[in-house]
Structure 1
Amino acid sequence: MSKHQTDEHRQKGFLAAVERAGNKLPDPFMLFVYLAVFVIVTSCIVSLFNVSVVHPKTEEVLAIKSLLSGEGIQYILTSMLTNFTGFAPLGLVLAMMIGIGLAERVGLLEATIKRTIMKAPKRLVSFTIVFVGIMGNIASDAAFVIIPPLAAMVYYTIGRHPLAGLAAGFSGVGAGFTANLIINGTDGLLSGISTEAIKTFDPTMVVTPVDNYYFMAVSVFILAIAGAILTDKFVEPRLGKFTRKLDKKMAAPSEHEGRGLRNAGIAGFLYIALLAVGLFWPSSVLRNEDGGLIPSTFLDGIIPIILFFFIVVGITYGRTTGKIETSRDIPKFMSEAMKDMSGYIVLIFAAAQFISYFNWSNLGVWVAVSGANFLQNIGLTGISVILGYIIFTALLNLIIFSGSAKWALEAPIFIPLFAFLGYHPAFVQVAYRIADSSTNIITPMNPYLVIILSFMREYEPKAGLGTLMALMLPYSLTFLVIWIVQLIVFIMFGIPFGPGIGVYLP
Structure 2
Amino acid sequence: MKKKGVFQRFLDVVEKVGNKLPDPFMLFLGLAVLMIIVSWIFNLFNASVDHPGTGETLPIRSLISGEGLEFILTSMLDNFTGFAPLGLVLVMMLGIGLTERVGLLDYAIRKTILKSPPFLLTYTVVFVGILGNLASDAAVVLIPPLAALVFYKVGRHPLAGLTAGFAGAGAGFTANLFIAGTDALLAGISTEAAQIIDESMIVTPLDNWYFNVVSVFVLTIVGGLVTSKFIEPRLGKYEGDIVEEENTEELPNAKKGLIYAMIAGLSYIALVAVTVLVPNSPLTNDDGGILPSSPFLSGIIPLVLFFFIIIGVTFGLTVGKIKSGKDITTYMSESIKDMASYIVLVFAIAQFIAYFNWSNLGTWLAVNGADFLTSINFTGMGLIIGYIIFTAFLNFLITSGSAKWAIEAPIFIPMFMQLGYHPAFTQVAYRIADSSSNIVTPLFPYMVIILAFMQRYDKKASIGTYISLMLPYTISFLITWIILIMIFYYVGIPFGPGIYPHL
Q: What SS does the corresponding residue of 2:174 show, helix, strand or coil?
A: coil
1:120 Cα shift?
0.7
2:434 maps to which of 429, 433, 436: 436
Q: What SS does the corresponding residue of 2:398 show, helix, strand or coil?
A: coil
2:12 maps to which of 3, 13, 16: 16
1:444 Cα shift?
0.7
1:278 Cα shift?
1.1
Distance 1:249 1:31 in 2: 41
1:245 Cα shift?
3.1
**Does structure 1 residue 235 correspond to structure 2 residue 246?**
no
1:178 Cα shift?
0.5
Look up the equivalent residue of 1:469 and give its one-letter code: I
Look up the equivalent residue of 2:111 and give its one-letter code: R
**Does structure 1 residue 190 correspond to structure 2 residue 194?**
no
Where does 1:351-370 land on structure 2 (aligned, <5 Å)?
351-370=349-368
Distance 2:368 2:423 in 1: 18
Deviations 1:316-375 (A, max 9, x none): 111111111111111111000000101111111111111111111111111111111111
Tell me what 1:300 maps to: 298
Distance 2:100 2:241 in 1: 33
1:279 maps to which of 273, 276, 281: 276
Distance 1:211 1:164 in 2: 34
Would the aligned equivalents of 2:102 and 2:312 in 1 still touch at CA under 8 Å? yes
Where does 1:264-343 land on structure 2 (aligned, <5 Å)?
264-294=261-291, 295-343=293-341
Q: What SS does the corresponding residue of 1:133 show, helix, strand or coil?
A: helix
Q: What SS does the corresponding residue of 2:290 show, helix, strand or coil?
A: coil
Q: What SS does the corresponding residue of 1:181 show, helix, strand or coil?
A: coil
Moved more, 253-262 or 20-29: 253-262
Tell me what 1:88 maps to: 84
Tell me what 2:102 maps to: 106
1:119 maps to which of 115, 121, 126: 115
1:146 maps to which of 105, 122, 142: 142
**Does structure 1 residue 263 correspond to structure 2 residue 260?**
yes
Distance 1:12 1:268 in 2: 49
Q: What SS does the corresponding residue of 1:497 show, helix, strand or coil?
A: coil
Deviations 1:81-125 (A, max 9, x none): 111111110110000001111111111111111111111111101
Would the aligned equivalents of 2:243 and 2:457 in 1 still touch at CA under 8 Å? no
1:244 maps to which of 225, 231, 240: 240
1:420 maps to which of 402, 418, 421: 418
Distance 1:390 1:351 in 2: 23
Structure 1 unaligned spans of 5+:
none
Distance 2:33 2:245 in 1: 55
1:254 Cα shift?
4.7
Would the aligned equivalents of 2:241 and 2:457 in 1 still touch at CA under 8 Å? no
Where does 1:165-176 land on structure 2 (aligned, <5 Å)?
165-176=161-172
Would the aligned equivalents of 1:11 and 1:466 in 2 still touch at CA under 8 Å? no
Tell me what 1:203 maps to: 199
Deviations 1:270-315 (A, max 9, x none): 1111111112122211111111111211111110000000000111
Would the aligned equivalents of 2:251 and 2:319 in 1 still touch at CA under 8 Å? no
1:55 Cα shift?
1.4
Would the aligned equivalents of 1:210 and 1:499 in 2 still touch at CA under 8 Å? yes
Q: What SS does the corresponding residue of 2:325 show, helix, strand or coil?
A: coil
Deviations 1:366-423 (A, max 9, x none): 1111111111111101111111100000000011100000000100111111111111
Tell me what 2:209 maps to: 213
Q: What SS does the corresponding residue of 1:441 show, helix, strand or coil?
A: helix
Tell me what 1:502 maps to: 500
Would the aligned equivalents of 1:18 and 1:399 in 2 still touch at CA under 8 Å? yes
Distance 2:233 2:305 in 1: 43
Would the aligned equivalents of 2:242 and 2:456 in 1 still touch at CA under 8 Å? no
1:248 Cα shift?
5.2
Q: CA RMSD in A?
A: 1.3
Distance 1:23 1:383 in 2: 34
Deviations 1:23-63 (A, max 9, x none): 11111111111111111111111111111111122111111
Tell me what 1:181 maps to: 177
**Does structure 1 residue 345 correspond to structure 2 residue 333?**
no
1:246 Cα shift?
3.0
1:137 maps to which of 133, 137, 161: 133
Q: What SS does the corresponding residue of 1:53 show, helix, strand or coil?
A: strand
Q: What SS does the corresponding residue of 2:49 show, helix, strand or coil?
A: strand
Look up the equivalent residue of 2:393 and give its one-letter code: L
Deviations 1:108-151 (A, max 9, x none): 11111111111111110111100000000000001111000000
1:10 Cα shift?
3.3
Structure 2 unaligned spans of 5+:
none
Distance 1:280 1:63 in 2: 49
> Aligned pairs, how many?
501
Look up the equivalent residue of 2:269 and give its one-letter code: I
Structure 2-normalised TM-score? 0.98
Distance 2:208 2:59 in 1: 35
Would the aligned equivalents of 2:253 and 2:318 in 1 still touch at CA under 8 Å? yes
Look up the equivalent residue of 2:403 and give its one-letter code: A
Distance 1:269 1:238 in 2: 43
Would the aligned equivalents of 1:115 and 1:253 in 2 still touch at CA under 8 Å? no
Aligned residues with identical type, % of pairs: 61
Deviations 1:205-235 (A, max 9, x none): 1100000000011100000011011111221
2:374 maps to which of 369, 372, 376: 376
Tell me what 1:394 maps to: 392
Structure 1-normalised TM-score? 0.97
